[in-house]
Structure 1
Amino acid sequence: MSLSTSLPADLPWNDQHAFLLLDGATEPNLLERLKQHDPGVSTIALFDTTSFTELREISPLLVTIEHPDAAIFQFFCEHAHEEWGVLLFSAEPAHGVAQHLRKLLTVEMPEGLPVMLRLADAAVARVLFGSNDARLSGPLSCVVTADCVGTNWHRHQPQPRLVEHPDLPTPYRLSAQQNSALDHADQRRALIELDAHLLSYFPTHHGGETLAQRWPRLEQLLQQALALGLSSKSDLFFYANAMAALDGSTPEQHSHIHRLLHTPSLQSPGERVVLAAQLAHQWTTQRSRS
């Protein structure tokens, strides 16, 4: 099934305003690319009129979509698997939707520390607008997000509200459950990026025709890395590099690398995994020459 052809049925195109929320930080020169499809495209940069104004070039963009056949919407569907955009519907026009979304650019963690959200990331949007707090949805009547792992779409519609547009406190403080779900979304994004990395550099050692088929292996790599005390995305990538380079070998052939990864020393786990990846690359190079 293709994400570009499997949108949920009965979306409120005729009854509501339709918008795309696109991530300007993930997609370079986003506004220029949109204008290539529609020179008259109507957009609002969420960073405008906020403390992030100087970062306008990488601002999330709220894009008005007149109908599902619009060129920009087709562009979005073609890239939906990259998960740097969200489809929104609202009875309110763009200005009201932008005002609400700006309140969620920065939220507080449960302990009160501020954190910036990537609102246009599909996984982040699923956490926020799929929660039971109707205040997060505000004027939004429907939120549609792509899932590149399951190759499907998720449709989120807020529960009926007792009052119209409940006030959203600013800053909004995440619950422990929401914070945990956002951490999981960050891990998921890291695995999606890791998948692309492994396909580029280790295509013969990263099996499976689809991301869904490769996903269990990616999760296994993450759990193994965490068990070794490796917590950052760069640590995960170095660990995956080492494992991919050593794929097909026996433990006896690289026991020194195994000891390096699993034996505590004065070096941090992050320092040891960088060295392990270097040694694994050297071992692979030497084997290919012999």
Structure 2
Amino acid sequence: MNLSTSLPNDLPWSEQQAFLLLDGATLSDLPDRLKQLSPGANAVALYDCPSFTALRDISPLLVAIEQSDEAIFQFYLQQAHEEWGVLLFSPEPAHGVAQHLRKLLTVELPEGLPVILRLADAAVARALFGSGDQRLFGPLSCVVTADGVEVNWQQHQPRLAECPELLTPYRLSAEQNSVLDHADRRRVLLELDAHLLTHFPERLRGESVSERWQMLEQLETEASSLGLDNPSGLFYYANVMARLDGSPLSQHPQINRLLHNPSLQPIGERIVLAAELARQWANERGRP
């Protein structure tokens, strides 16, 4: 299945206003790119409010879509598998939708600590709107997200004609928090996939991210077992494995010691050294 050609047919394009919510933290130069694709587009920066002024350059953008053949929407469809956008429908104009979404930019964890949500991340949107809490919909009649791993689209709609008011701060349930933790992990693995596609395309097996997902999860499991529990460490570990290209660690005693022998040096420093040794080894054999 191709996400760009499998969008649900029953979406209310003619009855309601369609919007794209695009992630400015993932898409570099999102405002400039929007101007190039759709010069006259009506866009609202969600971070254009007092609490987020300093982050406005990476703000999620709420973009009104009049027709499904618009350039910005077609661009989104072609890249939907990267999960940096959400399709929304509402009977209300952009201002009302933006005001509602701003209530969800900062929420509270179950224990009361505030956190910022990346609302334009498709997995985050699925976690929220798939939780069943009708307050989250507000003026939204339909939330559509692409799943780049399962390669399908998911729709979420309110069950009530009028949704209860969303009061702030919104506190996540333990279940919502768990699903959002999974969404964070998913984002890291998608970013890892993009990294490997950019730097080691010849080493990847599988035409799609869904076919590569098991390999990505295996890299994460191996890195975590070494104590590499942050994205940077995972990426360095993936670089090591990609450059060794199946060559067993037993044939690389220096790298093996750095990864597996007890040491007072933090594993985060040792993985950087291991990645450099792997790069040198690959270069000596004429590999990237």
What band does the TM-score fall into relative to the shorter chain? over 0.9
Q: How does 1:233-252 map to 2 (within 5 A)?
A: 233-252=231-250
SS in 2 for 1:192: helix
Residues 259 and 78 (structure 1 numbering): CA distance in 2 closer, same or farther, change over 3 Å? same
2:255 corresponding residue in structure 1: 257
Q: What's the TM-score once normalised by structure 1's chain length?
A: 0.92
> How many angstroms apart in 2 are the aligned matches of 1:70 and 1:287?
48
Shifted more, 249-258 versus 15-24: the winner is: 249-258
For the aligned residue pairs, the C-alpha RMSD in angstroms reads 1.8
Contact 2:249–2:255, Cα closer than 8 Å, also in 1: no
Q: Which runs of 4+ in 1 moved over 6 A?
A: none
The Cα of 1:60 is off from its aligned counterpart by 1.1
Matched, 1:50 2:50: yes
2:37 corresponding residue in structure 1: 37
Correspondence for 1:278 among 276, 279, 285? 276
The Cα of 1:287 is off from its aligned counterpart by 4.4
Query: Identity of paired residues, percent?
Result: 68
Matched AA of 1:158: P
Matched, 1:62 2:72: no
> How many angstroms apart in 1 are the aligned matches of 2:285 and 2:26?
38
> How many angstroms apart in 2 are the aligned matches of 1:54 and 1:266?
39
Structure 2 stretches lacking a partner, 5+ long = none
Matched AA of 2:275: A
> How many angstroms apart in 1 are the aligned matches of 2:50 and 2:156?
27
Deviation string 1:96-123 (CA, Å, 9 cap, x unpaired) is 1111100011111222221111111111
Q: What's the TM-score once normalised by structure 2's chain length?
A: 0.93
> How many angstroms apart in 2 are the aligned matches of 1:72 and 1:93?
19
Matched AA of 1:25: A
> How many angstroms apart in 2 are the aligned matches of 1:270 and 1:38?
43
> How many angstroms apart in 1 are the aligned matches of 2:140 and 2:173?
21
Correspondence for 2:185 among 187, 194, 197? 187
Q: How does 1:168-247 map to 2 (within 5 A)?
A: 168-247=166-245
> How many angstroms apart in 2 are the aligned matches of 1:253 and 1:75?
46
> How many angstroms apart in 1 are the aligned matches of 2:17 and 2:8?
17
Deviation string 1:40-80 (CA, Å, 9 cap, x unpaired) is 21111111233112432321111111122333322322222
How many pairs align? Answer: 287
Matched, 1:138 2:133: no
Matched AA of 2:53: T
2:17 corresponding residue in structure 1: 17
Deviation string 1:233-269 (CA, Å, 9 cap, x unpaired) is 0000011111112223234311332232122221122
The Cα of 1:220 is off from its aligned counterpart by 0.3
